[in-house]
């Protein structure tokens, strides 16, 4: 077994590797940027090395700094985690050339699966079923149009070097093909420096099925069954589960055999995932599942495979990298029960899933304090930490295991519903709503699930009467506690006056505790007398009462009748910068008439582009944005005046 390993990553995956390495007696070395100097993964590692400034391109993407850190600390091996440099063949090769052990596949295997067209051709040659389409060298508009017509519409255009949905376009009819092709090529060139595309038949009811594979240096390859990752938004996974709903043994054998064949075709070593697209219009069938791509690394959703197999995949990685054979043979691997994972993000589903940055002033999850937690939580943040704009805004992965799928759904739904996080926004309530829909409960989803539901899942409901009353009770309780602690002659005099008290005076009746509160700029009236069993918290030195209800965090303040001159919201047409970032482009001009949803500008932050749009029909009365400008959070970028 290896004696030491450097983890070339951060966050929850770095902590995940540290946890297994410590159990196996392997010394760990963390690397960190300026932003992560006090991060949990840095504190938990045996040793840590600073590698640069906060932006990833100056730290976690600097391969030479990571290799130097490994040399400096005497680490034998480098574990890349996922993301960053995990699928960079040149980095893997540099690690090996430096005399270190690369915990991952051979660089040639990474390269073989790195380009979609080459990988698809390789799989075709190996006998792995692939989606019907065109991946030829002739990239002229005429040839691509001809091939699209032959495949039939709708057709899918995909960037050869693509990923994450960039450079991908669905074309419904022949007349739309040329414009969609040009758009896909521009985006592909901008994102990957390669504008080549391939064409595929568009699957009408697609399911995303992937198979976990593992190879060793002795020529052995096994699969650890399948996962279903069909619940996605913008080609990014939201909820994953294993095994896949509706998967019979014949279909499972067909898809897992194809996955093992694919791995063997590239002499695969280590952990990898073969991703397939399935046409579920007639249920899952072995002859309607096609190879899509291979991820040559450990996946974010690997815990669900661990939960149903009882295996530690990071331990497998370390053992294979140490030259050992795979811990188990294929016939020794079994499926036990059902597992699900939800990705909890600091983001605002109401605003197109814009990341939400800031300090985690309150963070509580009840199962953490159970003797046998019902939820596995892989996280790298704690109360008091800050979600920064530098990296992916994931807070945690919530993972559950149960004997049946219905029990797993209930466990995960309860876990998401009981999360208490403030003051950053999260997608916990959105996850609860997804896990409550009839389609998901019955296992009948496909990759169009979220698109088909429109705003019904992303828009959170208004606070309930119980939530308002819970906030009122919180303020009254805090006021009484403060009065008790500061009982002076002056405060005693004030308490004699009904105007200085929160309770309301009523003729011929006892005083009521009706309060006027503010929620998202609107006044609500609530009673502190009615009982509510909802959990609450106070933040901002007690100025804000937060009520937690089914994953949502509703914030209230006392309505004093005063308004901050700078107070603004989408309700009054103010377009504020949701986070620090750079303005990439401006799509509208001051004075322009806009419709609700029309783009105003594009802001680049957290490695993503975010389009800020008109919240209603109106005139763009103010525009304070120029391309290339850096802006802080909360800056007024534009203001819309509603039509009369």
Residue 555, beta-bridge partner list: 546
The H-or-E segment that residue 576 falls in is strand 574-576
Catalytic status, residue 297: yes
| 328 vs 326: CA distance, rounded Å | 6
Q: Locate 321 and state its tokens.
A: 């990298």
Residue 218, classed as helix, strand or coil, is coil
Q: Locate 107 and state its tokens.
A: 């660089």
Q: Locate 36 and state its tokens.
A: 């992560």
Residue 158, beta-bridge partner list: 168, 198
Decide if 25 contacts 6 (C-beta within 8 A).
no
> CB count, 10 Å around CB of 587?
14
> CB count, 10 Å around CB of 313?
21
DSSP state of 320: H
Residue 608, beta-bridge partner list: 605
Decide if 30 contacts 42 (C-beta within 8 A).
yes
Residue 596, classed as helix, strand or coil, is coil
Q: Exposed, middle or buried, 637 (CB in 10 Å: 0-12/13-18/19+)?
A: buried
Q: Which of 297, 343, 513, 550 is catalytic?
A: 297
| 222 vs 330: CA distance, rounded Å | 6
Question: Please, which residues have CB within 8 angstroms of residue 56's CB and are 6 or more apart in sequence?
Answer: 33, 84, 390, 391, 607
| 580 vs 637: CA distance, rounded Å | 12
Decide if 299 contacts 104 (C-beta within 8 A).
no
List active site positions: 297
């Amino acid at each position: 077994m290896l004696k030491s390993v450097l983890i070339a990553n951060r966050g929850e995956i770095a902590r995940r590797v540290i946890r297994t390495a410590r159990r196996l007696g392997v010394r760990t070395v963390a690397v960190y940027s300026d932003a992560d100097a006090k991060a949990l993964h840095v504190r938990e590692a045996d040793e840590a090395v600073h590698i640069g400034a906060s932006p990833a391109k100056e730290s976690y993407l600097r391969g030479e700094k990571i290799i130097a850190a490994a040399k400096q600390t005497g680490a034998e091996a480098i574990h890349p985690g996922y993301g960053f440099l995990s699928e960079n063949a040149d980095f893997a090769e540099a690690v090996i050339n430096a005399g270190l052990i690369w915990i991952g596949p051979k660089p040639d295997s990474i390269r073989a699966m790195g380009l979609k067209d080459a990988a698809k051709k390789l799989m075709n040659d190996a006998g792995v079923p692939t989606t019907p389409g065109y991946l030829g060298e002739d990239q002229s508009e005429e040839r691509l149009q001809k091939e699209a017509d032959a495949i039939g519409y709708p057709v899918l255009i995909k960037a050869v070097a693509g990923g994450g949905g960039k450079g991908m376009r669905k074309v419904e009819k022949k007349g739309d093909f040329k414009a969609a092709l040009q758009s896909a090529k521009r985006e592909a060139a901008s994102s990957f420096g390669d504008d080549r595309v391939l064409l595929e038949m568009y699957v009408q009811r697609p399911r995303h099925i992937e198979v976990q594979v593992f190879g060793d240096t002795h020529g052995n390859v096994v699969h650890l069954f399948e996962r279903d990752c069909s619940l996605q938004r913008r080609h990014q996974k939201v909820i994953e589960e294993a095994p896949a709903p509706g998967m019979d043994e014949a279909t499972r054998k067909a898809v897992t055999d194809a996955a093992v064949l694919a791995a063997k075709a590239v002499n695969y070593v280590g952990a990898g995932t073969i991703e397939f697209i399935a046409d579920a219009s007639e249920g899952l069938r072995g002859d309607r599942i096609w190879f899509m791509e291979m991820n040559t690394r450990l996946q974010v959703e690997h815990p669900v495979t661990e939960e149903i197999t009882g295996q530690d995949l990071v331990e497998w990685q370390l053992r294979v990298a140490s030259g050992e054979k795979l811990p188990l043979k294929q016939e020794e691997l079994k499926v036990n029960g059902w597992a699900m994972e939800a990705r909890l993000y600091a983001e605002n589903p109401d605003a197109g899933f814009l990341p939400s940055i800031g300090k985690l002033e309150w963070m509580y999850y009840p199962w953490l304090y159970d003797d046998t937690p019902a939820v596995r939580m892989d996280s790298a943040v704690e109360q008091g930490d800050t979600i920064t704009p530098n990296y992916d805004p994931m807070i945690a992965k919530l993972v559950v295991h149960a004997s049946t799928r219905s029990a797993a759904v209930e466990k995960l739904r309860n876990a998401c519903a009981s999360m208490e996080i403030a003051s950053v926004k999260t997608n916990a309530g959105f996850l609860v709503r997804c896990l409550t829909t009839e389609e998901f409960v019955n296992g009948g989803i496909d990759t169009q699930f979220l698109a088909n539901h429109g705003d019904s899942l992303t828009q959170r409901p208004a606070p309930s009467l119980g939530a308002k009353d819970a906030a009122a009770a919180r303020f009254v309780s805090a006021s009484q506690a403060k009065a008790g602690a500061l009982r002076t002659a002056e405060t005693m005099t004030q308490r004699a006056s009904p105007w200085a008290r929160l309770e309301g005076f009523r003729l011929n009746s006892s005083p009521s505790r009706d309060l006027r509160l503010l929620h998202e700029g609107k006044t609500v009236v609530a009673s502190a007398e009615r009982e509510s069993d909802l959990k609450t918290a106070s933040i901002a030195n007690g100025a804000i009462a937060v009520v937690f209800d089914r994953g949502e965090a509703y914030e209230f303040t006392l309505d004093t009748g005063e308004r901050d001159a700078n107070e603004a919201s989408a309700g009054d047409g103010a377009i504020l910068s949701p986070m620090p970032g750079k303005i990439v482009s401006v799509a509208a001009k001051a004075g322009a008439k806009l419709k609700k949803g029309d783009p105003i500008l594009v802001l680049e932050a957290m490695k993503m582009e975010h389009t800020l749009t008109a919240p209603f029909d109106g005139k763009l009365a103010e525009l304070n944005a120029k391309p290339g400008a850096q802006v802080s959070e909360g800056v007024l970028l534009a203001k819309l005046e509603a039509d009369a």
